[in-house]
């Protein structure tokens, strides 16, 4: 058997090799930089910061007999790290260095993972294409004229091109699931309150969740197992233990999957509709049962979200005032120092959302916008509860289109917002969602489907994704190469 190059391996198999002493943690961490990054990073621009000595130090420190020993991980740049700057893709933080690691980062390190750097993102996670990064866009490794999705576009693209087998992002309205779909990798948004957010720079606190990117379902399960633990520093966490995901490969016999076909009757790319049909067929063949029903169109969720998320953002981002961090505009009067530091330090989309949120919360408009959106959120929560009374998981698109072109939506905020039409509902309802790659469409771009389930249904989502992974793989990859992943075309 030909030895599989380290950078092509799953996180699970890298950790096995490191635990057995067949490869060092440093060699495992460098593997992605030696071949794939040398080939792709200049064009793709997934990384915002990395350096070899920090990687070597992290690899040396990593425990060598743990679940993720030696597994290189790229972090979205809104997760605080002591050994790399944390920019949030913004100019306003400058070269800000966190005095502490985010809890999820500390957990990764304790589990043996090696943080190799920070990934590009839309500024403060606001955007769906990574074009709103103050440090330039990330491009889709499958087609450099197209976006990788966003806001966690850097980590998604890095996992796709082979830099790392595992990455963390954050998902406030789809910012893990949408880029995962555009880049052909798995993207999990866990149940609200399952992963600590201590050290995740806040955007919309009732919606934000840390999410996981990987190329293999087993790797998502391993990372979830490491990360989903209570944290006394995050008061929004769920009580009780996280669900047991060790059953990720237990199959889908008897699973009822919801099929809300009214959602894709129009406005969804044909390639995605075909991927849905294929996924449903595979799930049925593996013993699952399709439950058709109608579901509330996602446009209501988008409308609700852009009032609530912006209101929360306008409050959360008030802390960036030019006094305590990074960028400060020159001024000899405090009010003007605030206004100019924020006006010059924030990019266009962040300014737009702060203004929209300020308006939704302002006297005279609060009832009409913010309170109405809160009531709409209750309705959406109930819609999901009713759906999950009839099925265990729902199968639906992750995105209405395949990866779109750079520049296509940057001047049309509403069109950009609507690219999250299938992902936002899960954030509003606090439920988990998983983007599952379904191979390449005829255009050569990745296509994907999404699975949603009720709170704490992560094991079911992974079981269904595993069924799709096993079926898809049998078509494309010869037996014995399960640990290898397909190199992006071209």
Partner 1 sequence: MALSRAEAARIAELARLHVPEAELDRVAAQLSQVLDFAAALNELQLGDEPLTAFAPADAPLRIDGPDGRTLDAEIATANAPEAEAGFFLVPPVVEDLEP
CA 272 remoteness from chain centre:
19
Burial of 2 per CB tally in 10 Å (0-12, 13-18, 19+): exposed
Q: How far is the CB of 336 from partner 1 (least distance, A)?
A: 8
Residue 250 or 323 with smaller CB distance to partner 1:
323
Residue 236 or 289 with smaller CB distance to partner 1:
236
Q: How far is the CB of 329 from partner 1 (least distance, A)?
A: 8
Q: How far is the CB of 256 from partner 1 (least distance, A)?
A: 27
Tell which phi-psi region holds residue 162, choosing left (phi > 0), alpha (psi between -120 and 50) or beta. left
Q: How far is the CB of 487 from partner 1 (least distance, A)?
A: 40
Q: How far is the CB of 301 from partner 1 (least distance, A)?
A: 10
Task: Please tell me the distance from the alpha carbon of residue 157 to that of residue 95, in angstroms, as a whole number.
Answer: 23
Q: Catalytic residue among 10, 76, 90, 128, which?
A: 76
Task: Please tell me the distance from the alpha carbon of residue 452 to that of residue 257, in angstroms, as a whole number.
Answer: 9
Alpha helices in 230-347 (DSSP H): 270-285, 298-316, 334-345
Greatest extent of the chain over all pairs of C-alpha atoms, in Å: 70
The answer to whether residue 76 is catalytic is yes
Q: Catalytic residue among 175, 341, 435, 447, which?
A: 175
Residue 96 or 481 with smaller CB distance to partner 1:
96
Task: Please tell me the distance from the alpha carbon of residue 113 to that of residue 100, in angstroms, as a whole number.
Answer: 17
Q: Look up residue 2 and give its two tokens.
A: 């030909």
Residue 10 or 86 with smaller CB distance to partner 1:
86
Handedness of CA 236, 189, 196, 463 (dihedral sign): positive
Q: How far is the CB of 430 from partner 1 (least distance, A)?
A: 7
Q: How far is the CB of 119 from partner 1 (least distance, A)?
A: 21
The answer to whether residue 253 is catalytic is no
Please choose, from the candidates 150, 78, 90, 148, the residue with its C-alpha nearest in 3D space to the C-alpha of residue 118.
Answer: 78
Task: Please tell me the distance from the alpha carbon of residue 29 to that of residue 137, in angstroms, as a whole number.
Answer: 25
Site of interaction with partner 1 (CB under 8 A):
94, 96-97, 99, 192-193, 206, 230, 232, 235-239, 299-300, 302-304, 306-307, 314, 318, 321-328, 331-340, 342-344, 346, 351-352, 354-356, 358-359, 362, 369, 371-379, 381, 413-414, 417, 430
The answer to whether residue 151 is catalytic is yes
Q: Which of 354-387 are b and which e, b meaning 16 or more Cβ less than 10 Å from the residue's Cβ? A: bebbbbbbeeeeeeebbeebeebbeebeebbeeb
Strand order in the sheet with 186-189: 47-49, 114-119, 72-76, 166-171, 209-214, 186-189, 433-440, 446-452, 393-396, 256-259, 289-292
Residue 114 or 301 with smaller CB distance to partner 1:
301
Whether the CB-CB separation of 321 and 342 falls below 8 Å is answered with: yes
Q: Catalytic residue among 128, 129, 151, 152, which?
A: 151
Residue 430 or 488 with smaller CB distance to partner 1:
430
**Residues forming the active site:** 76, 151, 175
């Amino acid at each position: 058997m030909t030895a599989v190059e380290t950078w092509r391996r799953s996180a699970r198999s890298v950790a096995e090799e490191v635990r057995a002493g067949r490869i060092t943690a440093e060699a495992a961490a460098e593997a992605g930089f030696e071949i794939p990054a040398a080939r792709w990073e200049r064009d793709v621009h997934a990384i915002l910061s990395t350096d070899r000595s920090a990687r070597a130090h992290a690899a040396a420190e990593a425990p060598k007999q743990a679940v993720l020993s030696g597994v290189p991980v790229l972090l979205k740049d809104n997760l605080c790290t002591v050994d790399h700057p944390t920019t949030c893709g913004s100019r306003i933080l400058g070269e800000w260095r966190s005095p502490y690691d985010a809890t999820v980062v500390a957990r990764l390190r304790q589990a043996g993972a090696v943080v190799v750097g920070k990934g590009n993102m839309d500024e403060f996670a606001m955007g769906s294409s990574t074009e709103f990064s103050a440090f330039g866009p990330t491009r889709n490794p499958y087609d450099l004229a197209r976006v990788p999705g966003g806001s966690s576009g850097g980590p998604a693209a890095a996992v796709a091109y082979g830099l790392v087998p595992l990455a963390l992002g954050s998902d406030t309205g789809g910012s893990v699931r949408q880029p995962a779909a555009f880049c052909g990798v798995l993207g999990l948004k866990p149940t609200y309150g399952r992963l600590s957010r201590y050290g995740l720079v806040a955007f919309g606190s009732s919606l934000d969740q840390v999410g996981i990117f990987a190329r293999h379902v087993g790797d998502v399960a391993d990372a979830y197992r490491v990360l989903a633990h209570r944290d006394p520093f995050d008061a929004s966490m769920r009580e009780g233990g996280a669900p047991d995901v060790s059953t990720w490969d237990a199959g889908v016999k008897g699973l009822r999957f919801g099929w809300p076909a009214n959602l894709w009757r129009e406005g969804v790319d044909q390639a995605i509709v075909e991927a849905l049909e294929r996924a449903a067929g595979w799930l049925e063949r593996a013993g699952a049962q399709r439950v058709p029903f109608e579901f509330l169109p996602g446009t209501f969720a988008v409308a609700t979200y852009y009032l609530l998320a912006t209101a929360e953002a306008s409050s959360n981002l008030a802390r960036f005032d030019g006094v305590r961090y990074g960028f400060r505009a020159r001024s000899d009067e405090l009010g003007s120092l605030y206004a100019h530091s924020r006006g010059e330090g924030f990019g266009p989309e962040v300014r737009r959302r702060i203004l929209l949120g300020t308006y939704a919360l302002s006297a005279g408009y609060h009832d009409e916008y913010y309170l109405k959106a809160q009531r709409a959120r209750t309705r959406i929560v109930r819609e999901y509860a009713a759906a999950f009374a009839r099925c265990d998981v729902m199968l639906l698109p992750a995105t209405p289109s395949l990866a779109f072109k750079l520049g296509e939506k940057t001047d049309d905020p509403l069109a950009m917002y609507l690219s999250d039409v299938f992902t936002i509902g899960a954030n509003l309802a606090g439920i988990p969602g998983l983007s599952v790659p379904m191979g390449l469409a005829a255009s050569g771009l990745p296509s994907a489907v999404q699975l949603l389930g009720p709170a704490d249904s992560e094991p079911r989502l992974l079981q269904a994704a595993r069924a799709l992974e096993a079926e898809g793989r049998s078509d494309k990859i010869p037996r014995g190469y399960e640990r290898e992943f397909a190199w992006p075309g071209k």
